[in-house]
A and B are shown apart, each in its own frame.
Chain A
């Protein structure tokens, strides 16, 4: 069965430091991969997506993610974190076949930014 694992429940980084959030997936084919961000009191917002082609994808707010097929990973990175990046981050896989249209979401990683 398809699954998405975000190994880190909670990460704390200092403002200005670099960030990497991990995402591993289990899927039988090349997946459609997404990262979303959820700020308090709001719904999820798309940060970036990967379908094919260049394995390093750029997103909004200075985020990027790298698809590594050999590691079944799609880690999210940002070179310098801002206090406004404090939020919950979700990795997701878009499903095919009978579940087409649906996505499987990871459990999320909560990011705290220290001043």
Chain B
């Protein structure tokens, strides 16, 4: 089975540029999560979707961050404009069913904003 697929794996860009991170969840999964991981803050939940609908975006740090899920097999996390403090590893995860089900994580996108 294909796992959660994230692209790109690495992204280096200059501050002020728009960054788009992509995620393909596991087929059939109805929950999708975006996380950010840094040394300072650990693993933070940014937003999650159920059946393509955003349920909780309280973790999105600023209006510069936006996420969409146009269909069950694709989601994007966009940062515009990007800033150096956005540098982190961004993970996408998916799960099937509710809280009794584990989340399946992609390998992450390592983002560096210069």
Select which of B31, B104, B105, B108 is within 8 A of A101 by beta carbon: B31
A87 touches B (CB below 8 Å): no
Q: A43-B91, A43-B93, A43-B108 are in contact. Are A100 and B102 (CB under 8 A)?
A: no
B103 touches A (CB below 8 Å): yes
Mark each residue of chain B from 9 to 20: 1 if its CB lies under 8 Å from any CB of chain A, else 0. Answer: 000000000000
Q: A43-B107, A43-B108, A108-B42 are in contact. Are A102 and B102 (CB under 8 A)?
A: no
* B106 smallest CB distance to A (angstroms): 5
Chain B contributes a number of interface residues (CB within 8 A of A) equal to 24
The residue among B33, B48, B99 with the most chain A CB atoms within 10 A of its own CB is: B99
Select which of A36, A51, A101, A107 is within 8 A of B42 by beta carbon: A107
B100 touches A (CB below 8 Å): yes
Chain B residue numbers with a CB within 8 Å of A107 are 42
| Interface SS of B by simple majority | strand
Instruction: Please state if B48 and A102 are interface contacts (CB–CB under 8 Å).
Output: yes
A90 touches B (CB below 8 Å): yes
Q: A107-B42, A108-B43 are in contact. Are A42 and B99 (CB under 8 A)?
A: no
Instruction: Please state if B56 and A94 are interface contacts (CB–CB under 8 Å).
Output: no
Binding site for B on A (CB under 8 A): 32, 34, 36, 41-46, 49, 51, 90, 94-96, 99-103, 105, 107-108
Pairs A–B under 8 Å by Cβ, sample size 22 = A32-B100, A36-B105, A42-B107, A43-B93, A43-B106, A43-B108, A44-B93, A44-B103, A44-B105, A46-B102, A46-B104, A51-B100, A94-B99, A100-B98, A101-B55, A102-B55, A102-B99, A103-B99, A105-B42, A107-B42, A108-B42, A108-B43
Binding site for A on B (CB under 8 A): 4, 31, 33, 42-43, 45, 48, 50, 55-56, 91, 93, 95, 98-108
